[in-house]
Amino acid sequence: MAGSNPNAKPMNLTLKVWRQKNRNSEGKIVDYQVKDISPDMSFLEMLDVLNEDLLHRGEEPVAFDHDCREGICGSCNLFINGRAHGPEKGTTTCQLHMRKFSDGDTITIEPWRANSFPVNKDLSVDRSAFDRIIQAGGYISINTGGTPDANEIPIPKEISDRAFEAATCIGCGACVAACKNASAMLFVSAKVSQLALLPQGHVERKSRVENMVAQMDKEGFGACTNIGSCAAECPVGISLENIAILNREFLAAKATSNNLS
Amino acid sequence: MFPDSKIPEGPIGEKWDKHKFDVKLVNPANKRKYDIIIVGTGLAGASAAASLAELGYNVKAFSFHDSPRRAHSIAAQGGINAAKNYQNDGDSVFRLFYDTVKGGDYRSREANVYRLAQVSVNIIDQCVAQGVPFAREYGGLLANRSFGGAQVSRTFYARGQTGQQLLLGAYSALSRQIAYGKVKMYTRSEMLDLVVVDGKARGIVTRNLITGDIETHAAHAVILATGGYGNVFYLSTNAKYCNVTAAWRAHKKGAFFANPCFTQIHPTCIPVSGDYQSKLTLMSESLRNDGRVWVPKEKSVAERLRKGEIRVADIKEADRDYFLERKYPAFGNLVPRDVASRNAKLMCDEGRGVGSTGLAVYLDFADSIKRNGADWVAAKYGNLFEMYEKITGENPYELPMRIYPAVHYTMGGLWVDYNLQTTVPGLYAAGECNFSDHGANRLGASALMQGLADGYFVIPYTIGDYLAKTPPTPVTTQDPAFAEAEAGVRARIDQLMSINGTRTPTEFHKALGHIMWEYCGMARSAEGLRHAKAEIQKLKREFWSDLKVVGVNADLNQTLESAGRVADFIELGELMVDDALDRNESCGGHFREEYQTPEGEALRNDDDYAYVAAWEYQGENQPEKLNKEELQFENVKLTQRSYK
């Protein structure tokens, strides 16, 4: 079957792939050749081809995280030719297609590099630090039931839209991988802004930002030095403005804190 | 009559309230003495875990993902239905109930569907209170849109990412309970068996996907919220890891599997581009609000288009067939999914399909862009248009989208009674993994509604009734049934690792998917199904003699994970074929070629097939036993669905 571009020619590529047996072992780059790669393939489908080939040769396939393959679950996380999610702007690894590469290219594929994201195996990393940051305060403390009618509190569309933009973070970790300090500020600020913008989040806005920032520091993420690589490489376009909002929220909380701990 | 659906007595509008009063309650001080296992933390699982922990129960939640935020609920695009009637356009609980039963082609249980419609309004309140940023109007109130199969605007949405926002809401509630220590979260942990003690669900066996450790966990009750089985077709809009294993293991331990052949083929997906294709991507049904579906009127024109001799723009308006608008003037492009899918297939079967493969129809926004402007379209569907362009390399603002139906959702699943309890006492099923509310076809924007209804507002009530009758004594994994189940899991892994054949799990999975799509997909026939059954049995023998898995168990081993899931899919596939063969009628997503009206619409047989087919496992390689739950319709009149 031909794809949308029947004239596109298959490609042969050299892959330089990070292989690491487990968290405690050392890793290294290993070279592989892949042949007859269709430009209509997704990047992960190209890796599927490599893995089926390895399996047939009795070698262990390359472990990598992926799931929805439509850019929303945030599982996929490859560092391709030195860039988080590869060369195409605003794109997760799974939505990157091989038409962005050329026949004969050499492609280097590494896992996210950050102390707070230890490698599980090969290209799969442990991002549970993100979950622990959300557990520190990335929610509104209400129980199921007993909530007011959804239309009881009108929210200006502009505010709601901005909260939505911040809420679209997929938790992939590209911001950390792209940052020279391995800072998680963009991730944390996206959740802080979303909930600070909405009236429902106001009640806990002070303790939330303090607790989430404290957890971020505890996880060992680096400090933010306002370079902006995070936003530049974010596949869903989370804005740097969120970091400004976080800083403002954090200062206001510290200045007037009712968080006694 | 077995199985007993435990539908409460009384008028439909009073059943749920009456039932909530009749069920037993667990004393607040006793709740902390009960442990509940929840497998799967998507919409249904995360909402149930959070709600039960808030009530005071001890919850252990399991996900094979690295985080609950990755569950495939996150990919739902279009929206969530609720009978709020905020638009003053005639919606009501009864209308949502009616539309859902009708849309399901009268193969769902009235009482469950009515309850779903009732609690739908609470879901929206809950989500807004959590900080879910639904779309709003300039006045600050919530916006709605219409969706396939309905003539009112009752769908709440967050651009094309409603599932993401709802899942993150449930995930935030779950995270809060994890922080409080009321939920113990096990990530990268896959359930491989159910443990049954004295006829009751008592625990599970899991494999830690990073270390390969096999673990056992005990609880007073077990809830499965493990999603659907659409990946039995290999290519589907499901995420790659979606699988039937947890539900299938429970089935083999005594839980009936209901209506497995009811699968939904979604009309608006990006067509297959090559053999390497690993999954299919949905383009939200909401696009049909503003896009018009068409193919060339003439086969010869379609042929020239496919060969690249003419371009889309060369086809005059008069030479285009907007076939849904032509055949169904009342609903037009907004007919239910099964109708839209089948018609797209018909057009392609007639040789009028487009794209280089001929397996596609157009979804055209030119009129909408002309009428409203490209900015308006971008504001509404921007992310979907971007996704389409990334995948196909074509700009949908300039060229019509090419779409084709793909497997999307499975209405079948574990049989549950009104309490969402399976036929194994103490084992519950929530969300897509149960068969409950959608009959033979699910309406758009109803999956999110059902997952959250089950998790937030149904299970927290109904499970208390079971627990109140269960002594609050601590549970352990000491019973021999745990050791036995664990040994079975280890033996199976050893077997998968030791076959040393030549074919990979993916190759077997593709072969299965091909059989299922050809013979148990959009159109089915007795002859084709019999052929498929033989093919699947052959494939199963080959799988267990020629499978190739490398690496070791004590390690992250994605090939081993996949092998176990494919083995279960093969067995499920055979049951789906049996179920499709048994059902000598067409209804909803189940279209048997032998049973159609002269116009080619699905021809139901209410006299003989108005039942839920609940299949009972009888042992390895034994035919399963069919149990029938007769469906009673007291509030909805059974008619030939008409969307004309």
A1 pLDDT higher than 50:
no
Residues A156, A105, single domain; the answer is no
Residues A116, A30, single domain; the answer is yes
Supply the pLDDT for residue B78: 83
Supply the pLDDT for residue A7: 53
Q: What is the C-alpha separation between B325 and B332, in angstroms, rounded?
A: 4
A/B interface, count of CB pairs below 8 Å: 243
Residues A109, A197, single domain; the answer is no
Chain B hits for A194, CB-CB cut-off 8 Å, are 131, 133
B3 pLDDT higher than 90:
no
> Which helix (H) or strand (E) element contains residue A206?
helix A205-218
Residue with the two structure tokens 């020279």: A180
CATH number at residue A85: 3.10.20.30
Identify which of A36, A28, A41 has the alpha carbon closest to the alpha carbon of residue A9. A36
Residues A137, A245, single domain; the answer is yes
Number of domains in chain A: 2
What are the distances in angstroms from CA B94 to CA B6, B110, B635? 21, 11, 10
Considering the domain boundaries, does residue A69 fall inside one?
yes
Q: Tens of pLDDT along B382-417?
A: 888 998 999 999 999 999 999 999 999 999 999 999
Q: Tens of pLDDT along B141-152?
A: 999 988 876 889
- Asked if B384 and B283 count as a contact pair (C-beta separation under 8 A), the reply is yes
Q: What is the C-alpha separation between A253 and A217, in angstroms, rounded?
A: 17
Q: Alpha-carbon dihedral of residues B350, B356, B362, B364, nearest 10 degrees?
A: -150
Residues A63, A155, single domain; the answer is no
Q: What is the C-alpha separation between A218 and A184, in angstroms, rounded?
A: 12
A2 pLDDT higher than 70:
no
Closest Cα of chain A to B199: distance in Å? 32
Considering the domain boundaries, does residue A261 fall inside one?
no
Angle between helices A205-218 and A241-256 (to 10 degrees): 110
Residues 32-91 of B with CB under 8 A from A: 47, 50-51, 54, 65-72, 74-75, 84, 86
CB neighbour class for B81 (10 Å; exposed up to 12, middle 13-18, buried from 19): buried
Q: What is the C-alpha separation between B521 and B540, in angstroms, rounded?
A: 20
Q: Tens of pLDDT along A164-186?
A: 999 999 999 999 999 999 999 99
Residues A173, A222, single domain; the answer is yes
Q: What is the CA radius of gyration of chain A?
A: 21
pTM exceeding the 0.90 threshold for the entire prediction: yes
A126 pLDDT higher than 90:
yes
Q: What is the C-alpha separation between B541 and B463, in angstroms, rounded?
A: 40
- Asked if B266 and B282 count as a contact pair (C-beta separation under 8 A), the reply is yes
- Asked if B466 and B421 count as a contact pair (C-beta separation under 8 A), the reply is yes
Strand partners, A109: A17, A80
Q: Alpha-carbon dihedral of residues A150, A155, A156, A160, nearest 10 degrees?
A: -80
Q: Tens of pLDDT along B335-387?
A: 888 889 999 999 999 999 999 889 999 999 999 999 999 999 998 888 889 98
Q: Which domain holds residue A160?
A: 128-141+149-256
Which chain A residue shows the shortest CA-CA distance from B139?
A156
**Pick from A4, A38, A67: CB nearest B276:** A38
Mark yes or no for CB contact A69/B281 under 8 Å. Answer: yes
Total residue length of chain B: 644
- Asked if B543 and B567 count as a contact pair (C-beta separation under 8 A), the reply is yes
Collapsed DSSP state (helix, strand, coil) of residue B422: coil
Read off the amino acid at residue B168.
Answer: L
A3 confidence band (pLDDT: 50, 70, 90): very low
Considering the domain boundaries, does residue A82 fall inside one?
yes
Residues A76, A155, single domain; the answer is no
> Considering Cα of A244, then A246, then A249, then A252, what sign does the dihedral take?
negative
Residue A215 forms contact with B (CB below 8 Å): no
B481 pLDDT higher than 70:
yes
Domains delineated in chain B:
15-262+411-468 (3.50.50.60), 266-408 (3.90.700.10)
Residue A254, C-beta contacts closer than 8 angstroms, at least 6 positions apart: A210
Residue B217, C-beta contacts closer than 8 angstroms, at least 6 positions apart: B37, B60, B62, B203, B204, B206, B477
Proportion of chain B above pLDDT 90, given as a percent: 91
A256 confidence band (pLDDT: 50, 70, 90): confident
Supply the pLDDT for residue B384: 87
Tokens linked to A197 = 């913008």
Mark yes or no for CB contact B125/A148 under 8 Å. Answer: yes
Residues A20, A117, single domain; the answer is yes
The mean predicted confidence, pLDDT, of chain A is 95
Identify which of A125, A220, A216 has the alpha carbon closest to the alpha carbon of residue B188. A125
- Asked if A23 and B516 count as a contact pair (C-beta separation under 8 A), the reply is no
Rounded (5°) CA angle B142-B146-B152 = 90
The mean predicted confidence, pLDDT, of chain B is 96
Considering the domain boundaries, does residue A114 fall inside one?
yes
Read off the pLDDT of each residue in B169-196 and give the average, rounded to a whole number: 98
Q: What is the C-alpha separation between B564 and B192, in angstroms, rounded?
A: 9
Proportion of chain A above pLDDT 70, given as a percent: 95
Supply the pLDDT for residue B160: 84
User: How far is Cα of residue B336 from the mean position of the Cα atoms in its chain?
Assistant: 16
Q: What is the C-alpha separation between B263 and B407, in angstroms, rounded?
A: 7
Q: Tens of pLDDT along B568-597?
A: 999 999 999 999 999 999 999 999 999 999
Q: Tens of pLDDT along B63-113?
A: 999 999 999 999 998 899 999 999 999 999 999 999 999 999 999 999 999
φ and ψ of B35, to 5 deg: -105, 135
Mark yes or no for CB contact A150/B128 under 8 Å. Answer: yes
Residues A103, A154, single domain; the answer is no
| Catalytic residue from among B107, B115, B306, B337 | B337
Considering the domain boundaries, does residue A153 fall inside one?
yes
Cβ burial B398-430 (10 Å sphere, 16+ → b, else e): ebbbbbbbbbbbbbbbbbbbbbbbbbbbbbbbb
Q: Tens of pLDDT along B288-298?
A: 989 999 999 99
Q: What is the C-alpha separation between A78 and A86, in angstroms, rounded?
A: 7
Residues A170, A251, single domain; the answer is yes
Residues A100, A155, single domain; the answer is no
User: How far is Cα of residue A182 from the mean position of the Cα atoms in its chain?
Assistant: 12
Considering the domain boundaries, does residue A2 fall inside one?
no
Q: What is the C-alpha separation between B512 and B568, in angstroms, rounded?
A: 11
Considering the domain boundaries, does residue A110 fall inside one?
yes
The reply to whether B337 belongs to the active site is yes
Which chain B residue shows the shortest CA-CA distance from A201?
B131
Residues A136, A102, single domain; the answer is no
CATH number at residue A233: 1.10.1060.10
Residue B597, C-beta contacts closer than 8 angstroms, at least 6 positions apart: B603, B640
Cβ burial B448-485 (10 Å sphere, 16+ → b, else e): bbbbbbbbbbbbbbbbbbbbeeeebeebebebebbeeb
Considering the domain boundaries, does residue A247 fall inside one?
yes
B232 pLDDT higher than 80:
yes
Proportion of chain B above pLDDT 70, given as a percent: 99
